[in-house]
Amino acid sequence: MMEFVTLNNGVKMPQIGYGVYQMPPVETERAVNDALSAGYRLIDTAAAYMNEEGVGAAIKKSGIAREELFVTTKLWVQDHGYENTLKAIETSMKKLGLDYLDLYLIHKPYGDYYGAWRAMERFYKEGRIKAIGVTSFWNERLADLFNCNEVKPAVNQIETNVWHQQWAAGDFMKKHGITHEAWAPFAEGNNDVFHNEVLQSIADKHGRTVGQVMLRWLIERGVVVIPKSAHKERMEENIKVFDFALDADDMEKIRTLDTQKSTIYDEMDPEMALAIGRHAIHD
């Protein structure tokens, strides 16, 4: 049984979806087909993942009614700016084979993302994008964006996992009616997270897996999650997180794992900002 969150414009978004980050294009269609078969209806991709066409092919072959699906894709830094963004949105829709998007996100907070946002507002007002938002915006950039523009972001997708729990960011988003979505909910397996003793003890207590505990912990915080797996059995496992609950003691034990920093990369590192800003995904 799927549960939903309601975005600040009234759009309903599944609380768990399937992410295709680092999914090779040749594998994407098969993986998304498996995910749809397992019950996922939210699919999260991005122009920078170079696999939108595979996602689109799987959607087309699935036979699932368009209105039952929630498709997210993202704008890369190279295409920021008003005119560039208008073109990028059309390109993503064409690759996905869709005439509207459920959620469109600015992928990183660099370059002319103000011009990008205004182009996204145009598509949103035209009804060709149902909700618009951002990815990896820290609180002050998120605040500045919605303070100086007409449409408030519906979603901010940020790295959130047991090592980097993002309580301050989550509180700020909740205060301002912006949905918190987690990328890397499993921390990409870093610090041997799937064998962590604290998480394993909680999993054993509930007769669940460590992965299910990590996802349930986020869901109970009201966070949308988009776990990725290439294996159908793991996809099926990950979506079975709505029939158990963690108690206050479980939640507190998990909170003690917070290092308040990423195990993946430091988004505040200026060298990282330079590298991201220079990365091109097309000519």
Residue 269's pLDDT band (cuts 50, 70, 90): very high
Q: How far is CA 92 from the centre of its chain?
A: 17
What is the Cα–Cα distance from 272 to 31, expressed in whole angstroms?
Answer: 30
pLDDT in tens, 12-46: 999 999 999 999 998 999 999 999 999 999 999 99
CATH number of the structural domain spanning residue 72: 3.20.20.100
pLDDT in tens, 148-203: 999 999 999 999 999 999 999 999 999 999 999 999 999 999 999 999 999 999 99
Domain annotation covers residue 210: yes
| Measured CA distances, 85 to 43, 130, 154, 213 (Å) | 21, 16, 18, 38
Our answer to whether residue 18 is catalytic in this structure is no
Domain annotation covers residue 5: no
- CA 229, 234, 238, 239 torsion-angle sign: positive
What pLDDT is stored for residue 26 in this prediction? 87
CB proximity list for 112: less than 8 A, separation 6 or greater: 80, 81, 82
Domain annotation covers residue 133: yes
Domain annotation covers residue 283: no
What is the Cα–Cα distance from 199 to 253, expressed in whole angstroms?
Answer: 8
State the angle between helix axes of 82-96 and 52-62 in degrees (0 to 180), rounded to the nearest 10. 40
- Token digits for 100? 């509207």
What is the chain written as a DSSP string? ---EEE-TTS-EEESB-EE-TT--HHHHHHHHHHHHHHT--EEE--GGGT-HHHHHHHHHHH---GGG-EEEEEE-GGG-SHHHHHHHHHHHHHHHT-S-BSEEEE-SS-SSHHHHHHHHHHHHHTTSBS-EEEES--HHHHHHHHHSSSSPPSEEEEE-SSSS--HHHHHHHHHTT-EEEEESTTGGGGGGGGG-HHHHHHHHHHT--HHHHHHHHHHHTT-EE----S-HHHHHHHH--SS----HHHHHHHHTT--SS-SS--TT-HHHHHHHHH--S--
What pLDDT is stored for residue 1 in this prediction? 82
Overall domain count for the chain: 1
| 177, 201 Cβ separation under 8 angstroms | no
pLDDT in tens, 99-122: 999 999 999 999 999 999 999 999
Mean predicted lDDT score pLDDT of the chain? 97
Tell whether the model's pLDDT for residue 272 goes beyond 90: yes
Q: How far is CA 226 from the centre of its chain?
A: 6
Range of 122's domain?
10-278
How large is the average pLDDT for residues 69-74?
A: 98
| 115, 82 Cβ separation under 8 angstroms | yes
Q: Choose the catalytic residue: 18, 21, 40, 49.
A: 49
Question: Regarding beta strands 12-14 and 4-6, do their DSSP bridges make them parallel or antiparallel, or are they unpaired?
Answer: antiparallel
